[in-house]
């Protein structure tokens, strides 16, 4: 059975990437617009749970003029195009990927903007364990999950094999693999952003585990 992982919040905490990207947007704002306290404010908002319109909220909190459309677009580019030097794996994820890598083929299917997903993979050193990750964005924005395209592509690379998809978001991750006959496993970490999310119709995983440590035993 080929084990296929999701990336964000399955193998590493996406919040680590977000903090690194917000810092990059903050540095950009300081250099380009002279907004000195912007980076610190973004970090503070994120730490307090802020996830929406952070650039606008930070500007407002600092008493700046509302960012223009152009400034917002530039900040978003600084965020998405920044290149993290390193990202932390979840310890259980690294352990299980190392263990399984020695035993069987591993693969990865991930949504998200490019090149950000590629930069994340580089920062994690993913290639030594999973050399040919599939980023759905490369197939076209319409093929982000729950599109089956990426899953079908992987099946065409490994004809006759069985697959299991390991991911964290029950709202979109398991619809396509289930429809194609894959086994599906949700990792539901206590602090995960989708820990409280409910299953999509026809998108319930076969099993739920709280850490990837338990994965080898149920394969
Ligand atoms: Mg995910």
What would the pLDDT profile of 27-64 be if each residue is shown by its tens digit? 999 999 999 999 999 999 999 999 999 999 999 999 99
pLDDT of 191: 80
Residues with CB under 5 A from ligand 1 (ion): 6, 8-9, 168
Comparing 131 with 184, which gets the higher pLDDT? 184
> What distance in angstroms lies between residue 117's CA and the mean position of ligand 1's atoms?
12
> What distance in angstroms lies between residue 183's CA and the mean position of ligand 1's atoms?
17
The rounded Cα 190 to chain-centroid distance in angstroms is 17
Between CA 84 and CA 97 the distance in angstroms is: 21
> What distance in angstroms lies between residue 38's CA and the mean position of ligand 1's atoms?
28
For domain 2-12+87-218, give its CATH number from 3.30.2090.10, 3.40.50.1110, 3.40.50.1220, 3.40.50.1000. Answer: 3.40.50.1000
> What distance in angstroms lies between residue 64's CA and the mean position of ligand 1's atoms?
34
> What distance in angstroms lies between residue 67's CA and the mean position of ligand 1's atoms?
30
User: pLDDT class for 5, splitting at 50, 70, 90?
Assistant: very high
Mean pLDDT of 148-177: 97
> What distance in angstroms lies between residue 198's CA and the mean position of ligand 1's atoms?
14
The per-residue pLDDT of the chain, averaged, comes to 96
> What distance in angstroms lies between residue 71's CA and the mean position of ligand 1's atoms?
29
Mean pLDDT of 80-90: 96
Between CA 219 and CA 215 the distance in angstroms is: 7
Between CA 28 and CA 90 the distance in angstroms is: 29
pLDDT of 190: 84
pLDDT of 192: 80
| Domain ranges, ordered by start, for the chain | 2-12+87-218, 15-80
């Amino acid at each position: 059975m080929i084990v296929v992982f999701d990336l964000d919040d399955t193998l590493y905490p996406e919040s680590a990437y977000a903090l690194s990207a917000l810092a990059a947007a903050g540095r950009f704002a300081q250099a380009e617009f002279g907004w000195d306290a912007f980076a610190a404010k973004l970090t503070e908002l994120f730490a307090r749970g802020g996830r929406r319109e952070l650039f606008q909220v930070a500007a407002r909190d600092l008493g700046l003029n509302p960012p223009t459309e152009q400034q917002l677009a530039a900040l978003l580019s600084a965020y998405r195009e920044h290149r993290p030097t390193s990202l932390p794996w979840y310890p259980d994820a690294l352990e299980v990927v190392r263990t399984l890598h020695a035993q069987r083929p591993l693969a990865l299917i991930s949504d998200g903007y490019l090149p950000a997903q590629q930069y994340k993979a580089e920062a994690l050193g993913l290639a030594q364990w999973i050399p040919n990750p599939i980023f759905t964005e490369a197939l076209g924005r319409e093929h982000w999950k729950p599109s089956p395209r990426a899953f079908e592509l992987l099946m065409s690379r490994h004809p006759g094999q069985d697959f299991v998809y390991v991911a964290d978001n029950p709202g979109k991750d398991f619809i396509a693999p289930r429809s194609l006959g894959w086994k599906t496993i949700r990792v539901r970490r206590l602090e995960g952003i989708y820990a409280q999310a409910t299953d999509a119709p026809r998108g319930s995983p076969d099993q739920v585990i709280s850490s990837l440590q338990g994965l080898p035993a149920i394969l």
